[in-house]
Structure 1
Amino acid sequence: MMKIVIVEDEKHNALRLKEMLTNIDSTIEVLAVLSSVTESISWFTEHQEPDLILMDVRLSDGLSFEIFASCNINSFVIFTTAYDEYAIRAFKVNSLDYLLKPINKAELQSALEKYDQVRSARNQEPGIEDLLKMLKDPERSYRARFLIQKGDRYVSVKVETVEFIYSEFRNTHLVLNDGSTHIVNLTMDEVEEQLDPNLFFRASRQHLVSVNSIKEIQNHFNGKLKLVLSKFPETEVYISKDKSLLFKRWIDR
């Protein structure tokens, strides 16, 4: 059963979304209908995250992006808005789709199907036993360096100099211990597959972290963990409740 929160300040639009959701899948549970930035921050601070959020961009007291600045939200988001100028900002905050109003049932159903596909792929991530098996595999060879293009020349970057890796605007960035950042022509999934799992952990869809870069591990809301990186303490890296046990087993070796 999919659990959804609607963030929409126009009552008739919220009711219409609920009706369409019920028509698409009668098992969907709408946990809450929130009408403002303030109300949303309060709700997400006090409640367990839903599977999916349907969120308008412009609310009565500001832009919904302000919610993400105050709350660490890992749920997927489908933005529902009458304005298309916020599309780029939307895809920086877990956005799964961006639907322009008036929304029709077919578009909403397509977005929900996209969520199902992404959720299925996420559920296929290795579990604890699979991870331990990977860590014990002595036969596998992992990447030792990256070839980085800098203008009209190339430099070789050793894997041990990589502090963490992040994805933004569909680009994969290496952050080195000297503070420099370099884009590589690989997806996050490809990089994860090529790196030694003894040394790197996929904290989230956006972050891969080196075990040597982790300074501190803090408990966060709803069973999540927050990582503090030694050389980049301003970088916010969170591990979901579902992955926290896996991470603890990985690092406690």
Structure 2
Amino acid sequence: MIPNLRIILIEDEAATARNLEFILKEINPDIEVITTLQSIAESVDYLSACNHDYDLIFSDIRLSDGLSFEIFRQTSIKKPVIFVTAYSDYALEAFRNNGIDYVLKPFDKEEIQRTLLKYNTIIAADIKLEQTKTSALLQQLQSATKNYKKSFLIHYCGRLIPVDSAKISWFYTANEIVYACTADGQKYTIEFTLEQLERELNPELFFRANRQFIVNRNAIDTIEYFFNGRLLIKIHPSPQEQVIVSKAKAMMFRKWLDQ
């Protein structure tokens, strides 16, 4: 059972913050997001003046004005922190800053529920944060720095062909079939869903653009502004369908490319 929590979000992507708050409310409608802070400066000001009347912080790591760890160096935070990020590089640093868990983007309801249950277990057992954060973050570090799928063994014309993940330009799903297209234009069918691929592929190299496409950053030629705040991605080889990033994901996509 997830308790009624008062939560602070530190996240500079408005769409991600809204999505996280929506998921938290789905898990328990009585969870209250007190505020969403978008920068180091804003967070330091708020947390320095705050009376600590909250239970938990969800924090992104890369903010517009630097790494969020600077917030915890400049303030006296005694509440636990769950770090939510697209990058696996910072797990040990998160451990040093009151972290009890490390969630990789893109996250889903099940992942957020799992991390809240971990928080609940720690609090219910009355275990001191200092005694638990080491093992919790080191376990998460092992998960965060997992070996991503390097190749696919694909059935093709009665043969098995190994194809390097990095050579696949995009994955596409239609009629419950998933296709992988390589940089030289060869298209294969593979026995994975896009959801499974999201978990198996390196998130620094691949991005889930929409419900139909996962794209390789090295396959992207140009990005064009589309109507209603969306983005149109031109990739090679060019698929038959347009690859459009939704308005909700546009900022996350641009941030993913600009690293």
Question: Normalising to structure 2: TM-score of the pair?
Answer: 0.48
- Structure with more relative contact order (C-alpha pairs < 8 Å, separation 6 or more): 2
User: Please, what TM-score do these two structures have when normalized by structure 1?
Assistant: 0.49
